[in-house]
Amino acid sequence: MARFVIRRILLGLFVLLVVYAIVFFMFFVGPGPKSVARNLAGKDGTPATVKLIQKRLLLNRPIQVQFRHFLDRLVLHGSLGYDYYHGVAVNTVLKQAFPITLSLAVGGAILWLGLGVMTGVISAVRRGSVWDRLTTILALFFYSMPAFVLGLLLLYIFYYRLTLAGIRIFPGSGYTYFTASPLHWFESLVLPWITLALISAAAYARLTRGSMLDVLGEDYIRTARAKGLKESRVTYRHALRAALTPVVSQFGIDVGTLLGGAVLTETVFGMPGLGYTAVHAIQAQDLPVIIGIVIVGATAIVAANIVVDILYAVLDPRVRLH
């Protein structure tokens, strides 16, 4: 198991190195030294700022020296650069945005995983029943609904209509940090969590149902039943563990992508997370922030996939042999 984990971590580090190299060549080499400095300075960048950027990033030095300097700042010092548009470090901008996206991703992931897996298992066990048909219809309905439509619908019902009736439970937009008020933090995240959970849980319900149906037809499940084991033990102890492997794989991809920024959900609910910040950075042509979000998003996806590989090996020991 230890060798398997080490191999996966080393592979993940290699992938990150490749990603960082691609980011470097896309943003720092392709446009040329003068264009890079001008782009990083922003629309209102002065000639003095452009010269300062060229000096700080060693843009007049050979490419290999620039790349080594880029990796040194990023890997050894954890610096994502400087946002000349706002006059602050990119790390400062992302430190304010990342906790918002992290709160949204963790809460939404717990809800959609629990709801999706539970619904999928019940649908598989009660195949062909009214419950199975109902969950299939609901899964298709929510899976087909765009996040911004569902988000606006929830805001209309649970914020606008309730506010008109004199009942105010959920805020219309914005985010309250947990350290400021845990209650208001929870209230500001309930509707975004539900938006993410309902849409994603639909896919997980269908995925779990299909995987469970395949596993329930295996010989070892019939053997377990023939031995007189309780149906609940057969379902949850034997069948569900084997059926979770594709679910875990999909979960890692979705969480990693979400940590890179839930653009639509954050925009609808006015939450200044990574996705919201990325949209505004693109509109303002704030290149350093865009680069920082790309790096953070890529790192989150790779890290999530490493965790998924480890969980996959725990669920299916045969994976450790490859």
pLDDT digits (tens, 9 = 90+) for 239-261: 787 788 788 878 887 887 787 76
Encode pLDDT of 33-48 as tens digits.
567 777 777 666 677 7
Integer Cα distance of 214 and 319 in angstroms: 19
Q: Which amino acid, residue 272?
A: P
Please say whether the beta carbons of 176 and 188 come within 8 A: yes
Q: Which residue has the higher pLDDT, 202 or 1?
A: 202
* Element spanning 82, H or E: strand 82-83
Going by the DSSP 8-state scheme, the letter that residue 87 receives in this structure is T
Residue with tokens 């969590």: 193
Over the Cα atoms of the chain, what is R_g? 24
Query: Residue 18's pLDDT is what?
Result: 92
Query: Residue 56's pLDDT is what?
Result: 78
The domain 91-317 having CATH identifier 3.40.50.1970: the answer here is: no
Nearest one of 54, 93, 42 to 285, comparing CA atoms: 42
Separation of first and last alpha carbons in the chain: 11
How is residue 74 written in tokens? 């990023």
Query: Residue 203's pLDDT is what?
Result: 85
CATH 1.10.3720.10 intervals, the chain: 91-317
Please say whether the beta carbons of 103 and 186 come within 8 A: no
Q: Which residue has the higher pLDDT, 285 or 321?
A: 285
Q: Which of 53-57, 70-74, 162-166 has the highest mean pLDDT?
A: 70-74
State the Cα angle at 54 between 48 and 58, rounded to 5°: 150
Question: pTM of the entire structure?
Answer: 0.81
3-state secondary structure of 222: helix
Compute CA 137 distance to the chain's CA centroid, rounded to the nearest angstrom.
26
Q: Which CA distances in Å does 150 have to 25, 158, 192, 276?
A: 39, 12, 10, 18
Q: Which amino acid, residue 233?
A: R
How is residue 159 written in tokens? 């914020």
The arithmetic mean of pLDDT across residues 120-125, rounded, is: 86
Going by the DSSP 8-state scheme, the letter that residue 32 receives in this structure is -
Query: Residue 31's pLDDT is what?
Result: 63
Query: Residue 230's pLDDT is what?
Result: 81
Query: Is residue 313 over pLDDT 80?
Result: no
Going by the DSSP 8-state scheme, the letter that residue 26 receives in this structure is I
Q: Which amino acid, residue 67?
A: F
| Neighbour-count burial for 18-46, b at 16+ CB within 10 Å, e otherwise | ebbeebbeebbeeeebeebbbbbbbeebe
Nearest one of 276, 295, 290 to 40, comparing CA atoms: 290
39 Cβ contact list (under 8 Å, min separation 6):
31, 285, 287
131 Cβ contact list (under 8 Å, min separation 6):
122, 123
